[in-house]
Amino acid sequence: MARRRWLIPLAAVGASLLYRRLQRNAEQTAAGTSWEFTGPMARLYDLFSSAIDSFYARIARRLTDTTSSGQVLDVGCGPGRLAVHLARQAPGLTVTGIDISSDMIELARRRAEVSNLSDRVHFQVADVGALPFPDNQFDLVVSTLSLHHWPDPVRGLVEIRRVLKPAGQACIYDVADWILRLTHHGVGLANVLAQSPFASEAIEPVWSVGPLPLVRSFCLGR
């Protein structure tokens, strides 16, 4: 069991470094989707995410303790694991997941259908930098392991603040700062938050995964 715990941080570091190399070499589509999130690579990512499904389940339990009803937005939902966990944990929630990859969205829709949750869990292709939702719509906005992929993280946080209700909560879970700096030319989370609408609000480091500081997280609002 201890050996398996070590696989999580090692795999995450390797994936982050590989991602950065692919990002430099791969051409971007008009929608801004890199090929590593399409076709077979999307299915490979889904397989990888199955190895950390307990991570998504833990986040869902934590979030539904404070938000058990209302509307939730899952930014960078990938294959939809967190969205399904949230809906299972709290029948009073309606969850909308967005991702820039249409292949990820297709995988997520299938997961919702198989789980018989399509009535409360919906997915659509969208960009965090231009969210297709009105102001003050969501009670909770969550993002897991996605922020380091955003071309403009500050713009993404501006949009999250816009669609979040005044009394709502935004919870962001992303790679630890030392990994983020590797993938973003030395720019860390503090730099991003200082320029965002959340700069004056309390930041709560929540927990990390495995024996190394792998995931840094913060919840804003409430």
Q: What domains sit in the chain, N to C, each tagged with a CATH number?
A: 2-220 (3.40.50.150)
User: CA-to-CA distance for 95 and 74, rounded, in angstroms?
Assistant: 7
User: CA-to-CA distance for 7 and 54, rounded, in angstroms?
Assistant: 14
Task: Looking at mean pLDDT, say which of 10-14, 23-27, 38-42, 67-71 comes out highest.
Answer: 67-71
Query: 123: how many CB neighbours lie within 10 A of its CB?
Result: 25
Closest CA to 157 of 111, 189, 115: 189
Which stretches does DSSP call E strand in 50-132?
A: 69-75, 92-99, 121-125
Full-model pTM: 0.80
Residue range 110-165, pLDDT digits in tens: 999 999 999 999 999 999 999 999 999 999 999 998 988 888 999 999 999 999 99
Closest CA to 46 of 84, 9, 20: 84
Per-residue pLDDT, 198: 82
Per-residue pLDDT, 2: 46
Answer for the pair 64, 70: CB distance below 8 angstroms, yes or no.
no
Per-residue pLDDT, 38: 66
Per-residue pLDDT, 151: 87
Closest CA to 143 of 157, 125, 123: 157
Q: At what angle do helices 53-66 and 39-50 cross, to 10 degrees?
A: 70
Asked whether residue 220 carries a pLDDT value surpassing 80, the answer given is no
- Mean pLDDT, rounded, of the chain: 80
User: CA-to-CA distance for 5 and 63, rounded, in angstroms?
Assistant: 24
First vs last Cα of the chain: how many Å apart?
Answer: 37
Query: What percentage of the chain carries pLDDT values higher than 90?
Result: 48
Query: 15: how many CB neighbours lie within 10 A of its CB?
Result: 15
Q: Name the maximum alpha-carbon separation found in the chain.
A: 46
Is pLDDT larger for residue 68 or for residue 193?
68
Confidence of residue 7 (pLDDT cuts 50, 70, 90): very low
Per-residue pLDDT, 61: 95
Residue range 178-212, pLDDT digits in tens: 776 776 667 777 788 888 888 776 555 545 554 44
Per-residue pLDDT, 177: 72
- CA angle 59–49–152, rounded 5-degree value: 75
Query: 164: how many CB neighbours lie within 10 A of its CB?
Result: 22
Per-residue pLDDT, 86: 98
Per-residue pLDDT, 194: 86
Is pLDDT larger for residue 142 or for residue 13?
142
Pairing assessment for the beta strands 121-125 and 92-99 based on DSSP bridges: parallel
Per-residue pLDDT, 184: 62
